[in-house]
Amino acid sequence: MVSTRIISPQVRRVIDVPLRVGESPTWDDRTGDLWFVDILAPAAFRLKADGSLRRYDMPAAIGCLALCESDDIAVCLQTGVHMMNRETGALTLFCNPDGGRANSRLNDGKVGPDGCLWVGTRDEEVPQTGNGRLYRVTPNGRFEIKIDGLKTSNGLAWSADGKTMYHSDSSQLFAQTFDFNATTGEISGQKLLRPFTNEVGRPDGAAMDQDGFYWIAGVLSGRVNRVSPTGDIVEAYQLPCKSATMPCFAGPDLKTLYVTTLFNDDPGKDEPGTIFAFEVDVAGVPVNRFAV
């Protein structure tokens, strides 16, 4: 068994606004802006390169966002995928893959090497029943179910060569991989990457580095775990919080890691969600843009 190297990075807090459930940090290489969401605010945010912060209030819970080739921002709300004008904040419904299903909402999402938006759902039933899904949304607004029977779809990321898709289920405590066809968007060859525990962190949002390692946030452990292609946690970056939710590689060299967190309301430990940043030694895989 490979031992895990525990690292306490030199972190800095990059925002002063408290978040309830910070998620979906996304680096815009065209502008130097960092985008992110607060699921329960609900709102999208744009942290500009000059340090100013703009807030875009949403009419429903927002699970994630993605950059588009057109410079619009795709925002995934409980009411569907909308296109948002980054200057005015105006929303236009693009499609509604989840169709308003009861006890379900759009959650983690990323654009794949196929130029399509992949977005999963969270099962909001108590207890959860397994109604979670992963959808693929094409640039013409069509969509299809790619995975069913999930509880909390999360952890989407793709290898640098675009041939492997990573995905997690936060509630079922596992991460998995698929062979990915960037031409057709087909996934096959499902494999368990590894199971997780609350002690190492419930598997949440994720990103990939250029060396083929999967960086996945650990809710409850306050860690970002760097996982090898064979499923070993080789490094764990310990943050000054309880619940990291998603990492994102950023900066001109993609060697700055931004990590969103959520609030901790444990008795006597009131801790708002925020965004931490620190430098790493390996560059990340650039995020794709939705081909609209």
Q: Of 38, 204, 209, 211, which is the active-site residue? A: 204
Total Cβ atoms within 10 A of residue 112: 20
Structure token digits, residue 129: 């029943």
Q: For residue 122, what is the enclosing H or E element?
A: strand 117-123
For the question of residue 38 being annotated catalytic, the response is no
Task: Report the b/e string of 117-137 with b at 16+ CB within 10 A.
Answer: bbbbbbbbeeebeebbbbbbb
- Contact 179/159 with Cβ under 8 angstroms? no
- Contact 215/209 with Cβ under 8 angstroms? yes
Q: Rounded CA gap, 63 and 110, in Å?
A: 11
Find where tokens 């959860």 sit.
128
* C-alpha closest to that of 238 among 217, 253, 255: 217
- Contact 206/215 with Cβ under 8 angstroms? yes
Catalytic residue numbers?
204
